[in-house]
Structure 1
Amino acid sequence: MSNGIRYDSLLVRYLAAELDERLRGRVLRAVRLDAESRAAALVFRRAVLYWDLDPAGGAVRWVEGERPADAAGVHVIEPARGTTVARVTAPPDERVLRIELAPPTAEGDAAGAGRRAASLCCVVVELMTNQWNAVALGADGRILAVLRPREAYGRVLRPGATYVEPQRSVRAGASVPLEREEWRGLLGDVSPAERERVLLARVAYTSPLNARAILGAATSAEDGEALDAAYERYRAVASLPPADPHVLRLDGGAQPYPLPLPGVPAERFPSLLDAIVAASREAAPAAAVGVSRAALERLEARVAELERRAARLREEWERSGPRAAELRRQADLLLAHPGRAVKGMTEVELPDFTGGTVRIALDPALTPVENAHRMYAAARKHERAAAQLPARIEAADQKRQRLAALLQRALAGAASAAEVEAALGPAAPGGGRRGGEARRLPPYRRYRTSGGLEVRVGRNNRANDELTFHHSSPNDVWLHAREASGAHVILRWPDPNSNPPARDLTEAAVLAALHSRARTSGTVAVDWTRRRYVRKPRKAPPGLVVPERVRTLFVVPDPAAEERLRVPDDEDEG
């Protein structure tokens, strides 16, 4: 019994190239999205491309001389007559495939184009983790239709919303394979048992499908010879040679792949699509016996959340050390050049110790010495985070691996409903909390300042509106990072005649900075005002408001503050 087809960035890259050769220039008649069966179909003049986007399936089939039958509940998007496929691409080291369309020529049916969805310009297939999806985009970048509408982590996948690409891969070697010295520097000082984990986290085009075949003896041998042999195997894959489609015989079952892997039994096929169809015929039924789709979706979401959490923690860890050093350097410069900065300045340019100049952002409410002490304090926090984060990353990775293995067994029919529920905890009807009455998740996350004041942080654009206008009081303090998209933040404060204590206000501003696109900046400007001075313009998109009587704080977005201030019982249910 086999799991569904698994897609890694290498498979997606080669599949995009094969589909580009097959589809380029063909006239597209319709895009069909079937949410019930989690399937998408691209209908051409005399053929259909079917794609099963249930993670338990995953097959892609090209069928000549067929038109799909009409079915209730299927969303059909018809482009302008004469629309053709311009190209099919996949970004480097991404599990995203883009089918870009060319509009009809001037001789096309202009009247028909006006009646149909003439703006259809692209179909995006997302194959990250287990959140597979298909999205039809208009020429203005807005979503016309989506197979699985959802909202998560700043991405709103719903008709009418502007499409936001998934976070791009930051792994090394996406454009050009690593050189041998880079390979040795990355893995040479890592224990053999840890090399697979480091490889998957840091090197482009590696995945659980190919990592062990690439590393071979380097997962157990300390000597450099084994590591050099692994580099040659890595180079053979990462150089993206001409496709040689095979069906691999892995422990999890048949797996289509664009290249054979050393030491892995495999069977060659004429094309990657042929290999995908052959492997899919051996796949197990989509649903695990006794495990509901809702439970599988909860497990999928939890695995995806843990993967994102580990990636966020890893990103924080990688920048904590350099950020701490930079903050100390700036603080040292401020103290080394007395008189060059004065209270009230928002920035100052100072001579660097090694030549040149450094521009330093300042909080105008503080003296230069106070700014320096704040930078030293922030540097110490980053240093503590650098020491603590590896253990948290390891814990998140281990939990994700356990749940991912459980998910694969559940999809293969080898795990029971009781086992899945034990791992997740019972879900109350309607998405309630564990062990309590069913209730809808509030539109905000809860924090508490050092002074005991409650802070509410919006979860997404729509939740921002709900938080600001339905879950706050007029006297509360509203905060938002200036000139950066991010969460609305509400600091609960009942007194109309006085402002909250400076420390509580600053901590709320830090949370606003952390939940914004400016969170990686050294210093973030955060605007604040009373909630009664925030208004919503007519027909404004979700999350867009106009604040008045605004004042500004300058804060350092310290990741440790979020953990320190979070209300423990407010953890999301994954």
Structure 2
Amino acid sequence: MAFDGVTVSAIVSELKKNLTGGRIYKIYQPEVDELCLVVKNRTEQGNTTSRLVISADASLPLIYLTGQTKENPTTAPNFCMLLRKHIGNARILSVTQPNFERIVEMQLEHLDEMGDLCQKKLIVEIMGKHSNIIFTDADGTIIDSIKHISHQVSSVREVLPGRTYVYPPAQEKENPLDIDINYFMNHVLRKPVSVTKAIYTSLTGLSPVIANEICYRAGVDGGMSTAGLSMQEQEDLYAAFDAMRTSIKEEQFAPCIAYQGYAPKEFAACTLTMYGEEADNLPKKDVDGLKVFPSMSPVIEEYYQAKSVVTRIRQRSTDLRKIVNNAIERTAKKYDLQRSQLKDTEKRDKYKVYGELLTAYGYSCKPGDKEITCENYYDGSMLTIPLDPEQSAMENAKRYFNKYNKLKRTYEALMELTVESKEELDYLLSVQNSLEIAKTENDLQEIKQELVESGYVRGRFDRNKQKKQVKAKPLHYISSDGYHMYVGKNNFQNEELTFKFAEGNDLWFHAKQMPGSHVIVKTNGETEIPDRTYEEAARLAAYYSTGKEAPKVEIDYTTKKNLKKPPKAKPGFVIYHTNYSMSIEPDIHGIAEA
């Protein structure tokens, strides 16, 4: 879902109600492209404290109010220090959205160093990879920005200190709040494209989702060409558009998220009737519908929170992913080649039989014979053996014995090498799975240290130092029956959970023959555990494995006392011979986090 002009309009409406008249109490910059403002205000409800998050991240630009407190870095970046100098304790005069663009302008009033009252502007541009946070003085001169855009980066508009701020160039679109029925009929619906595309390419701030919603409310197929519209359909489209525009002008928003089962499909500042009706207690399995919110900020926070974490962690794990993927590709090629060579050694026993039969029946060969047919005394069949006519029967027998011995040595070496390659490949796939479920910087640091220890990343590894510095914890859930369940997020945690944290009768779960997390259920010495706890632990093991997308995953489970780690094995590797299995759906919704 695009962060479109309608969403920005709803956010601006919310910010006006909560921030106008308030004073900026605290400014900090938790990420290189993210800013947080704490604003204290007096409202009809009394004294309030609001936390505004502004992100100019190229992949996930956002602006919303949150109740959560983000970590304040020890050292503030330069942009943050500049804002603290100028607008610390500034009063927010207004929050506006110019020209229905994806821009939020905050007019600020503060005292300068001489004690004189002056004004500044904080401008937030929510425009994908072009997103920015720009700080200007009253006349529009840029003081600084969170991203500097030079002429080499953009020939259209520079964003540098000292330059005059100008709005992003228009895209030949009209403000939907200003047009009339004639423009809508004679310009928007005259474009030789589909109805949906005609709407969102002609009017500022309308995304394809909003355009589709307008078509749905009008009872018109958004995919049909504008040339095929009847007059009645055109009038219905304008009526639906005008009704939505009126609600925007009157700030009558209906923020919602459209769910398809557990997955959020879209969000918007207006009711997305095309996705169904409002449903209670969403998300639910196999239930589609709308979850309605009182304001826009909780919609954005719920929809993007998980996505934001995943996006940032994926960006920061790019180098590790590249190292692991290259190692997987290299090891897989080596493993395939070894298996192919191993298959070639299957004919070694044939050469041994050739040599033995030639030793027994070679007396019947004549000089120059190219083959000999004799009885195979192993199975009673007749066997034709190719001969080198320039060699005697005994020399041919010796040649076959030499081939047999060579292939036998190759087979014995390859048997050992293929086992090593398979173990290495399984290990690398487990690291790849750990990167997929990593959620924090500490998780990535542990994985990097694991790769250093294993020799895939250059660097020094100090296990004792690592224990002090990295404090990543395994995932912790509580079953419906009250049992504590722990999930390792990487091989270090898997090994720690299984061999140091778990006790003899604690239960251990793992996806069968595939990389995945170790899941430990603390039984507290009890021998009778409810079936529901078994199932929930198995669902965790399935979800945190490479079989996450499969409809069913087979899970092995046993007690901790049945597990062993072979000498010199990779971290997290275990063997077991006594276990049970079950097939389970990889679905963890409904399992409570501790």
TM-score (normalised: structure 1): 0.43
| Structure with the bigger percentage of helix | 2
TM-score (normalised: structure 2): 0.42
Relative contact order, higher structure (CA 8 A, sep 6+):
1
